[in-house]
Amino acid sequence: MSESALILRPIAEHDWDRVFQIFSAVVAEGDTYAYPDTLSSDEARALWIEGPPGETVVALRDDVLVGTAKFGPNRPARGSHVATGSFMVAPHVRGSGVGRAMCDYAIAWARAKGYAAMQFNAVVSTNVQAIELYRSLGFVTIGTVPEAFEHATEGRVGLDIMYLKL
C-alpha cells in the first residue's frame, strides 16, 4: 500500500464491516484492549460507536479503511470537561502514521470542543509504540495500575494513565 494521503472522516454505516474486521484483529491479539475476543459485531458496535457528544472516525488511505478511533468525554457530568480516546490501526499499516494522524485529529477535535484536557485511562504498559507516540504528542504518564491487564503472552502487566492538558 502506498504512503498516499490519509483521509479521516466520521464513520458511516457502510464502514462497519471493515471496522469490525480491524476491531476483531486488534482485540484478538490480546495485547492492547481488554475487550473479550468473542464479541459479536453488534456487541462491538455498541462499544465502539460513540454517540454525541463523542465521535467515531475512520482513516482511509487509497480508499482502503486502515484505522478507526473514538473519542468523547472521559466521564459524564462533572468529569465531562476531560476528553478520552481510543485508537485501532489495521495490523498491516502500523508504523505508517495512521495512529499519529488519528491522535492528532482527536486532540484537535477535543480542543475545538473546548475540553480542558485529554486522558487515556488504560494504555497497556507494554504497548511501547503507543506510549512513545502519546508522549511525542505531549501526554505524560500520571500513574500505572500494576498488573491490571491480562496480556495474551506476557501475563499481568500494568495499565498506564496518560494525560494531556489542552
Q: What is the DSSP string of 109-124?
A: HHHHTT-SEEEEEEEE
3 pLDDT band (50/70/90 cuts)?
Answer: low
- pLDDT at residue 2 is higher than 50: no
Break the chain into its structural domains and give their ranges: 6-165
Q: Is-contact 73 113, C-beta < 8 A?
A: no
CA distances from 22 to 17, 87, 91, 126 (A): 9, 11, 8, 20
- 6-165 architecture in CATH? 3-Layer(aba) Sandwich (3.40)
Q: What is the pLDDT of residues 150-165, one digit of tens each?
A: 999 999 999 999 999 9
- pLDDT at residue 99 is higher than 90: yes
48 DSSP assignment: H
Percentage of the chain surpassing pLDDT 90? Answer: 96
Please name the residues in contact with 144: beta carbons below 8 A apart, sequence gap of 6 or more. 125, 158, 159, 160, 161
Tell me, what's the pLDDT at 1? 43
Q: What is the pLDDT of residues 112-145, one digit of tens each?
A: 999 999 999 999 999 999 999 999 999 999 999 9
d(CA 63, CA 80) in angstroms, rounded, equals: 34
C-alpha cell, 65: 479503511
4 pLDDT band (50/70/90 cuts)?
Answer: confident
C-alpha cell, 163: 494525560
Sole residue written with cell 495512529: 99
Angle of CA points 44, 50, 54, to nearest 5°: 160
C-alpha cell, 128: 511501547
